[in-house]
Structure 1
């Protein structure tokens, strides 16, 4: 059973979009900021940029919000 994301009320569309890792980070930051989670947006960006792989960034996104 997977753990619920940190912000389960937020959904960010990643499938069918530009798959570039920087594009994923940008969409996540923008969604978090728009929802009023500025600090979480900064934390996500920092964690994503220090991740070792694209898969780690996607896993981080899924732990943060509901990803579709």
Structure 2
């Protein structure tokens, strides 16, 4: 179970880690939970690329970029 119920559409997105982290940061901002950014960022960047992906999956509901915004 992710730490938040915030959806991030990263499957099919540019896989550059900085792009993925940016998607997560914008999602936190849209959800009004930007105060979680520092904790998330510290954890996501404390290891390698795979660790960052696992951290994203631990914190967010991961979706495909082609999923409709209306699906919840």
Partner Cα distance (1:27, 1:43) in 2? 16
The one-character-per-residue Cα deviations of 1:17-46 (angstroms, maximum 9, x if unpaired) are 110011111110110111011111222122
Partner Cα distance (2:50, 2:18) in 1? 13
TM-score by length of 2: 0.78
Retained in 2: the 8 A contact 1:32–1:40?
yes
How many matched pairs? 63
Q: Which stretch shows the higher mean deviation, 12-21 or 35-44?
A: 35-44
Q: Let me know the Cα RMSD of the aligned residues.
A: 1.1
The unaligned stretches of length 5 or more in structure 1 are none
Aligned to 2:59: 64
Where in structure 1 do 4 or more consecutive aligned residues deviate above 2 Å? none
The unaligned stretches of length 5 or more in structure 2 are 64-72
Where is the helix percentage greater, Structure 1 or Structure 2?
1
